[in-house]
Structure 1
């Protein structure tokens, strides 16, 4: 099939709709929360071919297709009649590695591992490499397969032969990862070679030649970084595995000259990119790249064996190019797609003028485009959410407010289309999970934009304990669940009131996981601030997080033993604090309307959290709605459950802080 036909059909059909008048009716819930219609694309190492996940039809199975960019021919090279293509990567310019999934199953229904498969770019020489526990994807008969716990390595390797490195993962009984062995796998024969390891490795890193060079272990709560030299492993450094330490660093990538680029905190509060010299075993003091307001988070871009650029997350995702030609290319593309984040993927060893561009904004979901550097023309590749029209979406801005103790707190504010900062809108304070993660970045978000499309301002605070904003911001959150972390969220709502953004009588708090915990504690601690709350997959019983013979979670044992006492609190030393800040112990104080949801198969925050809180709060509050999704895990995997949940959220908010509440007065 010629590419033009394929691109016009299943593969492509993407146009940017950034102007025009908004329709009167908001987009339906399905437009926001359906599965992405395009599963992403990757250029081959030479840039001569493009691989992509495509659907046979709306709601159909995801297949793996390859486009020959010289002839503009496209072909589906791998598919399953009863499963979907999962992750994929190029082994070489001629061969692909991939696994499988089933997007029609919730976590509680899954009884199969992803498996592992390889195929040539023309669809020939398909070979199953790793078995599955189930049979919904048939792996073929008579083949000797690797065990089901064999997975792809995220780092692709040299991409110049038929061999790759893969992970053999060993699990604790809880399902947490215990250790990862590394195997070299020939994707044509299926034969493997073991890699010598220094201990119970949790992360591996390959060098510029695609060979194992670095490993990270975790023992007794301490991370140790190991370097392989002359067929022997030596210790580089050891540091705390859970609380940030100046002795630690994050390996990023090896350069062709053998030096290692790392993210480290050497000159102050925030992590920056430094060079680690394996010969001296030291991290250089001078930062190669640093951000003013953020820790470095991202990766390096190497082209033709040289460091060409650095991809990072600041207020939004961005790239600094060290290569002059690529810097000029970025400027050209930004000029053609103004106002968008434009992420340029350059082939590893480019032999063509093509680059892949992922473009998006706060109002526009991701669109994938090919750009020809010789002709200056774009060709559409795919669109994640084609039914979303940018003109109907709200606007986002990064904000900064001050907590009551003087700590600056970043956040993201989304306003409905056409709304202003002085409109005193009903507002949802949306609290991220983790909590030891960076929760937000500028760009289209289904949750925030859905709420904005229904007329709500949305504030997403990066409360203390969130990562990405320096050591001070992170460590200020130690043992502050329900205390200063909670104050930061409330102070954000009060800031929005003072700014004229939010109507003080119409504020709801919402969130999942830790965000669900913060929702419950927010309603308990600040009853005059929040009129209602929505908590899903939320932590409700702090003591239950530390393990139970009946309701154990999938937290690693080392995290529960060494991490949680530092981050959340010690069960014995901090017993009184944990009782005072555990929602289930304070349930009688929660009197506002609450929508509570949980998945029956949640292994991270087991269903018992939701059930215990539901039963405890029922004695004093009849305004609690409970919904349980059968076989769902820590969040909603199936579109039908996302549609149902967010429809419930829409109706719940409307009754309590929306147009329905105003009409009832």
Structure 2
């Protein structure tokens, strides 16, 4: 089994080789892995000769086939429906763009690779319709539920429809039209579109509900202002009437609530220290047995301790102590289950669990060339900000000094900023630094996701203020704890993280010795005019809410205005085709520093959008960043300095 799958997905395993930047920059060799409902065939997304393809492998015979898309195409996502696999494709927008995007088409093929069909075609047809899968339907071997959106009209007014699609031939029947633009559907266990939800242009959430009967009308059950509760439908329980909602009551970390037409109050059935990340589905697809969250490391809380899946998961977790264990798919009878095991030093490993024989068989790894022993472990941390707010994050000590003190430290700031968070997981950017001698501090500053609506919204309007203070306080915490050498501190990040990096050395010139800004925002006034966000009414209102409207205040919170005050070394990284944060931001920051006599290092990623995609460009970014860090806070840069003890 394992040898056949590995042959299909990768050319060789390099676990014996030392960790290399090239291996960290490279894309996963294996993506999703799912077993068919009859348990006979495994489908997986595999890299074959540099292209992501659909591989189909028979479990018992180990025979398989790769479905290679056309030259510019590669596999996107896929779903089992009976004995057929439905999948979509993605491709670069143009010859000047590296990152692929979904084409909006759908295809299907039998488990043995035969019977390939195009279900939704757009090429050369002038078709402006985009079709996306909502969900497979438990027990239905012939259909799945899809969402169809026609982008011929104004994108802000596009109203999608929910359709039942035959996976043989692609015939479709519209079963519901969304009651609002840009809506997302949530289906019940029978394939009925029961919820539709979206934010309006003022960032207020609306959730609509309809009964399962054909022709039922939509009615509003949630209409919240941006400052209200956050209620998102996730799916249905096994009874097909009780719905699960992610709910942030009183703005606290999201709980799991239930709702039904007969019991319309949102009653919490689970609360945790962090938000609901997902539900753990039962093997038959009807309902869920657990709640996934990440208060520090990944956690699962059981909704039904007596469920077969819950007992099986508990036994399986005992085989892999200290790691995250999840079921990615299972045969309908629950006999064969695909298990994924991952951690901060494990990019992901897949196993086949035979519940009847009680055996676990290794299948393949996402990145078989990486040896966990050569990666640096990550630990959750928590500290109190200057105003008493509890802030969480992660610390990765360098592999060379796993228990060391007074280390060169890089504060790595995540982008977003809102609703995004750092997680306890394998992160190539972190490992590129930590395996080269640098401690890495990641901070889920206010505005980050994962800790409730109140915490996220506390970051609105706080660019350069409370959000920045959290990063400063985290850095000082690391120095006070004796983790970091106060004379060897750097701040680094992408997008909003790039903004925070340059703002950090602007407002705290005596704290950091260097900054790396990667596709960052450096002029808040420019952000409100250029890029793809201000091109829509929603985007304009979003920027007005999270940044404010006072032009003078925006200037005071823009790094480009502080070039004269910056004393730290600076490295700016821009992307040629970045539509989110145009390279003009980096150019203005570079020119301002030049005028101040502090010319920064500069790198422009050719063919890249908002973040590098091409592994060669990612590797080059790692190499340039490490060389820059070595010169600013590395051992040679620190020669002649005394190691800095914590400030008294």
In structure 2, distance between residues paired with 1:644 and 1:177: 42
Residues 110 and 338 (structure 1 numbering): CA distance in 2 closer, same or farther, change over 3 Å?
closer
Q: 2:628 aligns with which of 638, 643, 652?
A: 652
Q: Structure 2 stretches of 5 or more lacking a match?
A: 642-648
Residues 470 and 109 (structure 1 numbering): CA distance in 2 closer, same or farther, change over 3 Å?
closer
Residues 336 and 214 (structure 1 numbering): CA distance in 2 closer, same or farther, change over 3 Å?
same
- Partner-residue secondary structure (3-state), 2:595: coil
Deviation per CA, 1:531-581, whole angstroms, max 9, x where unpaired?
Answer: 01111111111122223xxx3324562333332222221x2xx33321210
Q: 1:616 aligns with which of 582, 585, 592?
A: 592
- Partner-residue secondary structure (3-state), 2:276: coil
Does the 8 Å contact 2:10/2:29 carry over to 1? Answer: no
Does the 8 Å contact 2:98/2:609 carry over to 1? Answer: yes
In the alignment, what sits opposite 2:531?
A: 552
Q: Is 1:395 matched with 2:377? A: yes
In structure 1, distance between residues paired with 2:31 and 2:497: 28
In structure 1, distance between residues paired with 2:150 and 2:131: 11
Query: By how many angstroms is 1:421 displaced?
Result: 4.8
Query: By how many angstroms is 1:16 displaced?
Result: 12
In the alignment, what sits opposite 2:217?
A: 232
Q: Is 1:562 matched with 2:551? A: no
For these two proteins, the number of residue pairs brought into alignment is: 631
In the alignment, what sits opposite 1:441?
A: 423
In the alignment, what sits opposite 1:190?
A: 170
- Partner-residue secondary structure (3-state), 2:81: coil
Residues 160 and 112 (structure 1 numbering): CA distance in 2 closer, same or farther, change over 3 Å?
closer
In structure 1, distance between residues paired with 2:277 and 2:227: 14
Does the 8 Å contact 1:421/1:501 carry over to 2? Answer: no
Query: By how many angstroms is 1:372 displaced?
Result: 1.6
Q: 1:581 aligns with which of 536, 542, 557?
A: 557
Q: How does 1:172-251 map to 2 (within 5 A)?
A: 179-194=159-174, 195-221=176-202, 222-229=204-211, 230=213, 231-240=216-225, 243-246=226-229, 248-251=230-233
In structure 2, distance between residues paired with 1:290 and 1:454: 39
Query: By how many angstroms is 1:295 displaced?
Result: 2.4
Query: By how many angstroms is 1:422 displaced?
Result: 4.8
Q: Is 1:326 matched with 2:302? A: no
In structure 2, distance between residues paired with 1:537 and 1:30: 21
Residues 649 and 44 (structure 1 numbering): CA distance in 2 closer, same or farther, change over 3 Å?
same
Residues 74 and 93 (structure 1 numbering): CA distance in 2 closer, same or farther, change over 3 Å?
farther
Query: By how many angstroms is 1:644 displaced?
Result: 0.9
In structure 2, distance between residues paired with 1:110 and 1:441: 25
Query: By how many angstroms is 1:437 displaced?
Result: 2.2
In structure 1, distance between residues paired with 2:14 and 2:357: 20
Residues 56 and 421 (structure 1 numbering): CA distance in 2 closer, same or farther, change over 3 Å?
closer
In the alignment, what sits opposite 2:366?
A: 384
Query: By how many angstroms is 1:8 displaced?
Result: 4.6
Q: How does 1:78-157 map to 2 (within 5 A)?
A: 78-102=67-91, 107=97, 113=103, 115-132=105-122, 147=127, 149-157=129-137
In structure 1, distance between residues paired with 2:89 and 2:367: 22
In structure 2, distance between residues paired with 1:560 and 1:268: 23
Does the 8 Å contact 2:81/2:167 carry over to 1? Answer: no
Deviation per CA, 1:329-354, whole angstroms, max 9, x where unpaired?
Answer: 2232222222211112352x632522
Residues 316 and 106 (structure 1 numbering): CA distance in 2 closer, same or farther, change over 3 Å?
farther
Deviation per CA, 1:13-53, whole angstroms, max 9, x where unpaired?
Answer: 99997xxxx99xx6221011101111221122343432112
TM normalised by structure 2 equals 0.90
Residues 393 and 175 (structure 1 numbering): CA distance in 2 closer, same or farther, change over 3 Å?
farther
In the alignment, what sits opposite 1:139?
A: none
Q: Structure 1 stretches of 5 or more lacking a match?
A: 135-144
Residues 480 and 171 (structure 1 numbering): CA distance in 2 closer, same or farther, change over 3 Å?
farther
In structure 2, distance between residues paired with 1:621 and 1:172: 50
In structure 1, distance between residues paired with 2:156 and 2:181: 13
- Partner-residue secondary structure (3-state), 1:10: helix
- Partner-residue secondary structure (3-state), 2:292: strand
Q: Is 1:162 matched with 2:137? A: no
TM normalised by structure 1 equals 0.88
- Partner-residue secondary structure (3-state), 1:522: helix
